[in-house]
Amino acid sequence: MNKEEYQFTYEVFDSVDELSQPDSWLLNEARGVTESAYAPYSNFNVGAVAKLANGEIVAGTNQENASYPVGLCAERVLLSSAATLYPRIAIDTIAISYNNNNGESKHPISPCGICRQSLSEYEERTGQSIRLILSGMEGKVYIIPRSSDLLPLSFGRVDMKQN
């Protein structure tokens, strides 16, 4: 038997004020777009804003539904919009923020499992890593160099190939 270990490194900043101007701008846009979320059931508004490789900016927000399984996370709304508006254009960076209307929004959260799979697939299909900036409406900021770092042992197109 062999044991293997998975690790990744990410940056932690105390606040948005410590970020570069482009990263700060992108995170503040994500914080602002949370106002457009449709989250009447959870009151947990999530906003995601991406800078694409061609310089374009695309945003997405979570969209809930009374039939919970049909709701969409902000990350998947963003990925769908980016792929539709700018086919085959890679995403450089995505900033993700949230506003918890039932409590505090002071620490970074990371994408759910479905969104991690979707981000990993997007990286694979464009051949470029997606950098993530994660934060609440205030407080610490995490910068993760590759979204696929969040999904070790992922399932992808190579697993679907037939011999």
**Is 5 part of any domain?**
no
pLDDT at 160: 83
CA dist 129 → 62, 66, 77, 91 (Å):
23, 34, 19, 8
**Is 2 part of any domain?**
no
Q: Find, among 57, 59, 53, 89, the residue nearest to 74 by Cα.
A: 59
Check: pTM over 0.85? Answer yes or no: yes
**Is 134 part of any domain?**
yes
Residue 161 scores a pLDDT above 70: yes
157 — pLDDT class (breaks 50, 70, 90):
confident
Domain count, the chain: 1
**Is 161 part of any domain?**
no
pLDDT in tens, 24-78: 999 999 999 999 999 999 999 999 999 999 999 999 999 999 998 899 999 999 9
Token digits for 94? 């995505």
**Is 94 part of any domain?**
yes
Token digits for 122? 């997007």
pLDDT at 139: 98
**Is 102 part of any domain?**
yes
pLDDT at 154: 86
pLDDT at 162: 62
Residue 163 scores a pLDDT above 80: no
**Is 6 part of any domain?**
no
SS (H, E, C) the chain: CCCCCCCCCCEEECCHHHCCHHHHHHHHHHHHHHHHCECCCCCEEEEEEEEECCCCEEEEECECCCCHHHCECHHHHHHHHHHHHCCCCCEEEEEEEEEECCCCCCCCCCCCHHHHHHHHHHHHHHCCCCEEEEECCCCCEEEECCHHHHCCCCCCHHHHCCC
75, 104, 121, 124: which one is catalytic?
Answer: 75
Q: Judge whether 75 counts as a catalytic residue.
A: yes
Domain that holds residue 149: 11-154
Residue 45's domain is classified under what CATH number? 3.40.140.10
**Is 130 part of any domain?**
yes
pLDDT at 68: 84
pLDDT at 159: 84
